[in-house]
Amino acid sequence: MSARWLRGAAATAATAAFLVPASLLAAAPALAHTAHAPAQAPVRAGAHGTAAPAVVAKKLFRAWLRADRHAASRVATAGAASTLFAYPFRAPDEFAGCSGNACRFVHTSVRVPGGLDGILMIVSGAKVTKVYESRHLVTPSAAAKQLFDAWRKGDRNRGLEIATTTAVKTLFRTKYDPKGVKYFFQGCSSEPKGYGCAYSYEGGGMFMHVRGSKSRGYEVTSISYIAD
């Protein structure tokens, strides 16, 4: 599929920026199966002598607020601590609890890109081993490419760092098949209220509709498909 064809189709796709009609979804690659976020196994307080996930997550959060990297290193892996200390926004103001070993801290007074809306910590034993967080990306293409990469890896939480819950739900309805159709990034072009970033594949195209600005950061807000 040519880039010229996709640019011509972008105007049509833009009118469906916030909806994914059934007729267009039918043009997408066949649904392999519904993709769900991996279930997190519950971890009980005191199990095997380790602290509950909420206790560990809160210790790391408080260490971060104090800018105390030494204290953070006692309750988090180096990679998790490094991600947290690079958080580009002000600190979330509410602890939203834990689902199994995944604990969230969210914003209630400011708007940040993505459906994660703050920080998600994955706890294993006595340490936080992974941190997901809202991202500040300064180009539409960066947001589109991160979402596509998250889908390719089956990592819904990574997708939520830079895309709305609606966009992630739409994309993850199908599981990426490395042996299936090949996707080709065709770039981003202006559309009403934002940008449309296109991926072409045999038989059609996928448009990621991106909103935001360089100062606020960009996020993918919806996805639509079009048939060739």
Q: Return the amino acid letter for 55.
A: V
What pLDDT, on the 0 to 100 scale, is given for residue 48? Answer: 52
- Domain boundaries, given as residue ranges, for the chain: 3-29+137-227, 47-133
With bands split at pLDDT 50, 70 and 90, how would you rate the model's confidence at 19? very low
* Residues 26-69 pLDDT 10s: 334 433 333 333 444 343 444 455 689 999 999 999 999 999 99
Query: Does the pLDDT of residue 10 top 70, yes or no?
Result: no
With bands split at pLDDT 50, 70 and 90, how would you rate the model's confidence at 221? very high
What is the value of pTM for the model shown?
0.78
CA pseudo-torsion sign 140, 120, 40, 73? positive
* Residues 191-215 pLDDT 10s: 999 999 999 999 999 999 999 999 9
Alpha-carbon gap, residue 2 to 186, rounded angstroms: 9
In order, the DSSP letters of 167-185 are HHHHHTTS---TTS---EE
Q: Return the amino acid letter for 176.
A: Y
Retrieve residue 143's tokens: 């947001």
Comparing 226 with 4, the larger pLDDT belongs to 226
* Residues 70-119 pLDDT 10s: 999 999 999 999 999 999 999 999 999 999 999 999 999 999 999 999 99
Alpha-carbon gap, residue 215 to 228, rounded angstroms: 36
Per-residue CA distances from 33 to 23, 83, 163 (Å) = 19, 32, 21
Per-position b or e across 132-151, b if 16+ CB within 10 A of its CB? bbbbbbeebbbbbbbbbebb
Alpha-carbon gap, residue 150 to 35, rounded angstroms: 12
Contact status, residue 123 vs residue 77, Cβ threshold 8 Å: no
Q: Which fold has domain 3-29+137-227?
A: Nuclear Transport Factor 2; Chain: A, (3.10.450)
What pLDDT, on the 0 to 100 scale, is given for residue 5? Answer: 47
Comparing 36 with 226, the larger pLDDT belongs to 226
* Residues 126-155 pLDDT 10s: 999 999 999 999 999 999 999 999 999 999
* Residues 150-194 pLDDT 10s: 999 999 999 999 999 999 999 999 999 999 999 999 999 999 999
